[in-house]
Chain A
Amino acid sequence: MNTGQQTTRRLAARAGRSVCWSCKDTLSRKYASAAAAALPTDDQSLQHIPPVAQPSSQDSYGIKTGVVLSRPPQITRDLHPLESAFFLYQRRLNERTALPFTRYFYYKKRTAADLEWKRKIKQRLTPARDIGRYKGYGEESWNDELLMGAKESDIHHQVEKLIEDAEQTGAQDGDEAEPVPGASNSKKEEEKIERPMPRVTEADLKNDVKSLNRQLQRTLYLLVKNQEGRWIFPQDTFAQETLHSAAGRVLTESCGENMHTWVVGNAPIGYYQQDYQNPIKTLSGLRELGAKTFFMKARIMAGQANLEGNKLGLTDFKWLAKEEVQGEVDKSYWHSVKNMLAER
């Protein structure tokens, strides 16, 4: 390809979209084939390119190991109102479209359970216990939409209904004819159903950021306060060891032995580069321009952090969710750390 043709092609490309695709394709293919002919064929030597060219043999960076210790979410997340409304809508649709409940497979005729079933189905009209009063079969099955202010799609309401259904026998106050009143009372006391634990804990209410029982729906990260008063992930200089073992060492040296942790994998999940204002001369005669901290991922299984007698000079710790971490750490630190942290 000579120079004139190349100029034509470049001009045509710069002129915008007016060159049709096939023409452009032909032009570039011509160019590509010429280029391919000119290039040497790729061989084994091309496959291992030295990763980064060092600017100067005298410049270096200090290496540190950081640990992103996290507690994964303990409970499911709260559903968005739209999600819970959608799920209720689908359940009611299911009541309309599914085959009817096979009653006699589950309740034998003329048993106490069968009587209870009859009473309850009269009250709630449907076998499902958590979709509210709705009948999927019959003339009025079209009426499956919730009215304004209805509570049926709320998860707490559904849980209450399920527990109520399990506790009660469906007998009204008026028709307590057949059993002895005292006996029914004792039965009711027996069948006291255990309530689910609250999703908001005491630590949430007190805003106790040192507790691992806070924010059960979120991933919590351990932040520590170093000697300079800055909040960071626990970190230490990297000695002659692997990153994995260094992470374990940093955890025990900073937060004590009283933690059961698991360092996930052997590769770091991110790094933070800190540039010094004035380069430092190291003992080996290198100019240290800054420090790079490589973060290892770790999960806490049991125990709690304890900073008493730590070797890294840490003064305080916090268990924080992602947004709270942003509020505590420096802007540049946050910029290099934020993509390692899980959204939830």
Chain B
Amino acid sequence: MALRELPFRTAATLFKDARPAIRAAQPTSCRHASTEPIKEVEDASSFSIPPPSEELAKSFDPIERSKLRRRGKEPLPPSRFQYRPPKYYRGPLHPHQPPPVSDPASRLFVPGPFSLPRLEQTYQSTIASDLLTLTYQHYPPGYRAPKAPQRLREWVGDHPYFKNRPLRPPRGKGDVLRLITPPRTFRNIPKITRVTVHSMVPEAQENSAYLHIAGMVVQAITNVRATPHKARENVVAWGLREGKWVSVTSDLEREDAHHFLSKLIDVVLPKIKEWKGVPASTGDGSGNMSLGLTSDHVALFPEIEVNYDSYPPKMIPGCYITIHTDATNDKDAFLLLQSIGIPFYGKRK
């Protein structure tokens, strides 16, 4: 195609150099679409109009206005003015589509954020840049990283089904594919992505009150609705029976996670007596770390302390707190959690 157009294109290229001379003859002040015509259409901007006077603003009462408007009239039924989104999603071709989740009219709308957490601000202003400095790895200019060996196995054979098939995982049971840690840049500084609070109460199999109270406690300390879970299988050692409700979790993200962590680090952990800290051997190898709290520790949360008497005695559960980070190994996650103030003890794995 390019070859077919060649004569014309060649000519255009040759004459390209002649064009600037013609362009220079044009007037220097260029006319943008946004400047001139808008003045022709409208000479006054709405921003130049002064705000309403003090008296007018003081006397403005929206409730009174709406009452005045409705006086002497039959009130409209809510169906006439209140928009209710459909209860079920009936597919993209249905004429009645639900509004986006960010719309307050949506049934799935969750308000927030309500604040800018202190921990997040500290992370942005102090921790992130320190982590980048601490984990910086220098490569001289011109350095090319050695090629990483292929960790997955190829499908060898003539079978047509092997073409373009995803590679096979490594052989054997114990060989786990660890996450690859990319070179550290300012774009991939590890940060906290979410926090999971998990509380298992096997006593709930006999007496469901335990589960309700665990749910109340987890909900109170996390500010997120707790989700109950069933036991997946029988475990005799733990007294678990399959299909029974035994635990509650709640998943915290963004603002909730930051508030929860700062509450944990600044209020709860310092109050624990004779506590060595979080064992440094924690971590799942891919940047997520957990710590456990006993029921005595959970009772130290300010939300529980404020009405401790409302909870039945000895039914406040302990819980596990898993902090998920987007670090790809435990070393980086350890550094991040240390820098936000979680005390560790002992040796790392």
- B114 contact from A23, A91, A297, Cβ within 8 A: A91
Q: Is B57 a contact partner of A148 (Cβ separation < 8 A)?
A: yes
Q: Does A77 contact B (CB under 8 A)?
A: yes
Give the chain B neighbours of A14 by CB distance below 8 A. 13, 16
Q: Is B126 a contact partner of A11 (Cβ separation < 8 A)?
A: no
Q: Does B338 contact A (CB under 8 A)?
A: no
Q: Is A149 a contact partner of B111 (Cβ separation < 8 A)?
A: no
Give the chain B neighbours of A90 by CB distance below 8 A. 111-114
Main secondary structure of the interface of A (DSSP, over half): loop
Q: Chain B CB within 10 Å — which of A11, A14, A15, A72 has the most?
A: A15
Q: B330 to chain A: closest CB distance in Å?
A: 19
Q: Is B63 a contact partner of A11 (Cβ separation < 8 A)?
A: no
Q: Does A85 contact B (CB under 8 A)?
A: no
Q: Does A101 contact B (CB under 8 A)?
A: no
Q: Does B125 contact A (CB under 8 A)?
A: yes
Q: A11-B13, A106-B310 are in contact. Are A147 and B57 (CB under 8 A)?
A: yes
> Which residues of A, 4-25, contact B by the 8 Å Cβ criterion?
8-9, 11-12, 14-16, 18-20, 23-24
Q: Is B129 a contact partner of A342 (Cβ separation < 8 A)?
A: yes
Q: Does A189 contact B (CB under 8 A)?
A: no
Q: Is B133 a contact partner of A73 (Cβ separation < 8 A)?
A: no
Q: B222 to chain A: closest CB distance in Å?
A: 15
Q: Does B144 contact A (CB under 8 A)?
A: yes
Among A44-52, A119-127, A252-260, the one that faces the other chain is A44-52
Q: How far is the CA of A297 from the CA of B126 in the complex (A)?
A: 12
> Which residues of A, 199-215, contact B by the 8 Å Cβ criterion?
none
Q: Is A269 a contact partner of B133 (Cβ separation < 8 A)?
A: yes
Q: A15-B12, A76-B118 are in contact. Are A148 and B1 (CB under 8 A)?
A: no
Q: Is A106 a contact partner of B307 (Cβ separation < 8 A)?
A: yes
Give the chain A neighbours of B130 by CB distance below 8 A. 264-265, 297, 299
> Which residues of B, 95-110, contact A by the 8 Å Cβ criterion?
104, 109-110
Q: Is B114 a contact partner of A79 (Cβ separation < 8 A)?
A: no
Q: Does A165 contact B (CB under 8 A)?
A: no
- B63 contact from A49, A76, A77, A140, Cβ within 8 A: A140
Give the chain B neighbours of A87 by CB distance below 8 A. 113-116
Q: How many residues of A contact B (CB 8 A)?
A: 51
Q: Does B238 contact A (CB under 8 A)?
A: no
Give the chain A neighbours of B306 by CB distance below 8 A. 106
Q: Is B6 a contact partner of A148 (Cβ separation < 8 A)?
A: no
Q: B308 to chain A: closest CB distance in Å?
A: 11
Q: Does B166 contact A (CB under 8 A)?
A: no
Q: Is A143 a contact partner of B307 (Cβ separation < 8 A)?
A: no
Q: Chain A CB within 10 Å — which of B104, B111, B144 has the most?
A: B111
Closest to A91 in B: B114
Q: Is B136 a contact partner of A265 (Cβ separation < 8 A)?
A: yes
Q: B13 to chain A: closest CB distance in Å?
A: 5
Q: Is B5 a contact partner of A18 (Cβ separation < 8 A)?
A: yes
Give the chain B neighbours of A147 by CB distance below 8 A. 57, 60, 62
Q: A55 to chain B: closest CB distance in Å?
A: 16
Q: Is A52 a contact partner of B141 (Cβ separation < 8 A)?
A: yes
Q: How far is the CA of A264 from the CA of B237 in the complex (A)?
A: 48
Give the chain A neighbours of B52 by CB distance below 8 A. 148
Q: Is B62 a contact partner of A143 (Cβ separation < 8 A)?
A: yes
Closest to B310 in A: A105
Give the chain A neighbours of B144 by CB distance below 8 A. 42, 46-47, 49
Q: How far is the CA of A221 from the CA of B306 in the complex (A)?
A: 42
Q: Does A344 contact B (CB under 8 A)?
A: yes
Q: Is B2 a contact partner of A297 (Cβ separation < 8 A)?
A: no
> Which residues of A, 267-283, contact B by the 8 Å Cβ criterion?
267, 269
Besides A77-B116, A94-B114, A265-B133, 16 new A-B residue pairs in contact (Cβ under 8 A), listed by A number: A11-B9, A12-B9, A27-B2, A42-B144, A46-B144, A47-B145, A49-B142, A52-B141, A73-B121, A87-B113, A98-B111, A106-B310, A147-B57, A147-B62, A265-B130, A267-B133
Q: B residues engaging A (CB < 8 A)?
A: 1-3, 5-6, 9-10, 12-13, 16, 51-52, 54, 57, 60, 62-63, 104, 109-116, 118, 121-122, 124-126, 129-130, 133-136, 138, 140-146, 306-307, 310
Closest 10 CB pairs of A and B: A51-B140, A49-B142, A12-B2, A15-B9, A148-B57, A72-B126, A93-B111, A94-B111, A265-B133, A265-B134
27 A-B pairs (CB sep. < 8 Å): A9-B2, A12-B5, A12-B9, A14-B16, A15-B9, A15-B12, A16-B12, A18-B5, A19-B2, A47-B145, A48-B143, A51-B141, A73-B121, A73-B126, A90-B112, A93-B104, A97-B110, A105-B310, A106-B310, A140-B63, A147-B57, A147-B62, A264-B130, A265-B133, A297-B130, A297-B133, A342-B129
